[in-house]
A and B are shown apart, each in its own frame.
Chain A
């Protein structure tokens, strides 16, 4: 497939800022504002290296998810995630973060959202900008890959 032209950052930001913010609110609650700024600053830093504008939504949601993981690890453990009752241990997505480091971005985001944040597939699909089926597939192939890797090591 032909690569899709990278849009000016203003258009990219205008298109994705609200869904990304909603995503971060779901993951972080009140901490979403700082994470929002950090997400788009990271996106700005990486923007000149982008070669294809096709999966920008999945790309920025992956960054946002990564930022949310960092954020909860930093401010752990209490208060950060009101909807996920976290007791004394690290929240599960913080554990999943480094484990999934080498997965392809889409699979990584899918695995972290499913098993770390406990999001249903329709919300993961929204986050990745894909269908529910594709979200299911990305999650299961991510899990398969992790399993294979844990056998190897």
Chain B
């Protein structure tokens, strides 16, 4: 059968984004932690995921943001560039809008506090809970970290247990260690 050339495919995907017709544009970004699934809405970055099956993320995004989810490279370029710089050790702060429209109330308050935890430092679940106004909600903060829609950019890897243990990470503890090592927050 006559099939669509890669050039025509790319051209359509770019035109779709250019015309502002997408609920979410996504692409796969290479990183030292493996491939990252990165999605951007008109409001900003809405997902970074370690999930290896794009279809899982595509379905999730369609449910949350609208059915017009399409792979399209250009809208993802600013995030891609900043992630590259971060992994190359050339960037300590992300300068990207983040779309947290699916996070509610306390969850959103926690994610916004999380954003302020600086490069190379760590905090605890309890301390973050207190900053967001609920000092006893360390456990809930753990769940919110686990569901962080944009890890790395919202640095949930910088949140550890009160006893100094790393506790957990949605992308696996190995990746949490890698990120903290990259930032010099973890020796060896």
Give chain A's interface residues, CB within 8 Å of chain B: 6-11, 13, 17-19, 21-22, 25, 33, 36-37, 40-41, 44-45, 47-48
Contacts and interface: CB of A to CB of B under 8 A. Distances in A.
B62 to A, nearest CB: 4
19 contacts: A7-B62, A8-B62, A8-B69, A9-B62, A11-B55, A11-B58, A13-B70, A17-B9, A18-B2, A25-B2, A36-B4, A37-B11, A41-B12, A41-B16, A44-B16, A44-B70, A47-B68, A48-B66, A48-B67
Interface string B1-40: 1111000110110011001011000000000000000000
Nearest to B7: A33
B4 A47 contact: no
B152 to A, nearest CB: 23
Contacts of A48: 66-68
Contacts of A37: 8, 11-12, 15
B61 A8 contact: yes
Contacts of B21: 41, 44-45
Given A11-B55, A17-B4, 15 more contacts: A8-B59, A8-B61, A8-B69, A10-B71, A18-B3, A19-B1, A21-B4, A22-B1, A22-B2, A37-B8, A37-B12, A41-B21, A44-B19, A47-B68, A48-B68
A19 B68 CA distance: 20
B1 A18 contact: yes
B80 to A, nearest CB: 19
A63 B112 CA distance: 44
Contacts, number: 65
Contacts of B58: 8, 10-11
Contacts of B19: 41, 44
B74 to A, nearest CB: 16
Interface in B51-77: 55, 58-59, 61-62, 66-71
Sorted from nearest, which 10 A-B pairs have the closest CB atoms? A8-B62, A22-B2, A44-B21, A18-B3, A8-B69, A9-B68, A21-B4, A8-B58, A37-B12, A25-B2
Contacts of B68: 8-9, 44, 47-48
Interface string B129-152: 000000000000000000000000
Contacts of B66: 48
Contacts of B8: 21, 33, 36-37
Contact of B67 (A7, A21, A22, A36): A7
